[in-house]
Chain A
Amino acid sequence: MTLSDYLFLFGGMGLVTYLPRALPLLYLAQKQLPQWLIDWLSLIPVAVLSALLAPSLFANVADRSFSLGKPEFIVAIPTLLFALKTRSLGGTVLVGMGLYWLAGLFI
Chain B
Amino acid sequence: MNSPDNHQTNSISSVLFQGASAAWPICLGYIPIGLALGVLAQQTGLPWWSVALMSILVFAGSAQFICVAMLGAGASIPAIIFTTLVVNLRHLLMSSALAVYLPQINSRFLALFAYGITDESFAVNMTRFRDSSWDRWRALTLNHITNLVWILATVTGSLVGQLVPQGALGIDYALTGMFICLLVFQLNGRIYIITGLIAALISVGWYLLIPGDSYIVGASVCAATLGYFLQRHHRSSK
- CB pair B99 A24 closer than 8 Å: yes
The B55-101 residues at the A interface (CB cut-off 8 A) are 57-60, 63, 67, 77-78, 80-82, 84-85, 88-100
Interface string of B86-124 (1 = CB under 8 A from A): 001111111111111011110100110111010100111
Which one of B89, B117, B180, B215 contacts A92 once the chains associate, using CB atoms below 8 Å? B180
Which one of B117, B181, B208, B227 contacts A43 once the chains associate, using CB atoms below 8 Å? B227
> In the docked arrangement, what's the CA distance between A94 and B88, Å?
28
- Asked if A62 is at the interface of the complex by the 8 Å CB criterion, the answer is no
Which one of B92, B100, B195, B203 contacts A54 once the chains associate, using CB atoms below 8 Å? B203
Which one of B89, B208, B216, B224 contacts A66 once the chains associate, using CB atoms below 8 Å? B208
Which one of A14, A48, A79 contacts B180 once the chains associate, using CB atoms below 8 Å? A79
- CB pair A48 B216 closer than 8 Å: yes
- Asked if A107 is at the interface of the complex by the 8 Å CB criterion, the answer is no
Q: How large is the interface on A (under 10, 10 to 19, 20 to 34, 35 or more residues)?
A: 35 or more
The B163-194 residues at the A interface (CB cut-off 8 A) are 167, 169-174, 176-187, 191-192
User: Contacts A59-B204, A100-B170 given: A33-B99 contact, CB under 8 Å?
Assistant: yes
> In the docked arrangement, what's the CA distance between A72 and B180, Å?
11
- CB pair B224 A47 closer than 8 Å: yes
- CB pair B97 A93 closer than 8 Å: no
Specify the chain B residue showing the minimal Cβ separation from A101.
B170
- CB pair B115 A100 closer than 8 Å: no
Q: Which of B5-13, B21-29, B149-157 contacts A (4 or more CB under 8 A)?
A: B21-29
- CB pair A53 B180 closer than 8 Å: yes
- Asked if A69 is at the interface of the complex by the 8 Å CB criterion, the answer is no
Residues of B within 8 A of A102 (CB): 170
- CB pair B92 A46 closer than 8 Å: no
- Asked if B39 is at the interface of the complex by the 8 Å CB criterion, the answer is no
- CB pair B176 A53 closer than 8 Å: yes
- CB pair A97 B197 closer than 8 Å: no
Which one of A38, A66, A97 contacts B177 once the chains associate, using CB atoms below 8 Å? A97
- Nearest-neighbour CB distance to chain B for A72, whole angstroms, equals 6
Residues of A within 8 A of B54 (CB): 6, 10, 13
- CB pair B180 A44 closer than 8 Å: no
15 contacts between A and B (CB under 8 A): A6-B54, A17-B60, A20-B90, A24-B99, A29-B102, A41-B100, A45-B186, A46-B187, A46-B192, A49-B182, A52-B179, A53-B200, A79-B177, A92-B178, A96-B177
For the A-B complex with A44-B96, A53-B180, A97-B171 known, give 20 more contacts whose Cβ atoms are closer than 8 Å.
A13-B57, A13-B80, A20-B85, A25-B96, A25-B98, A25-B110, A29-B99, A43-B224, A44-B224, A46-B192, A46-B199, A47-B223, A47-B224, A48-B123, A52-B179, A54-B200, A59-B207, A83-B184, A92-B180, A101-B167
Which positions in A face B, CB cutoff 8 Å? Answer: 1, 5-14, 16-18, 20-30, 33, 36, 38-59, 64-66, 72, 75-76, 79-80, 83-84, 87-90, 92-102, 104
- Pairs of residues from A and B, 6 with the lowest C-beta to C-beta distance, nearest first: A96-B177, A101-B170, A100-B173, A22-B114, A14-B57, A28-B99
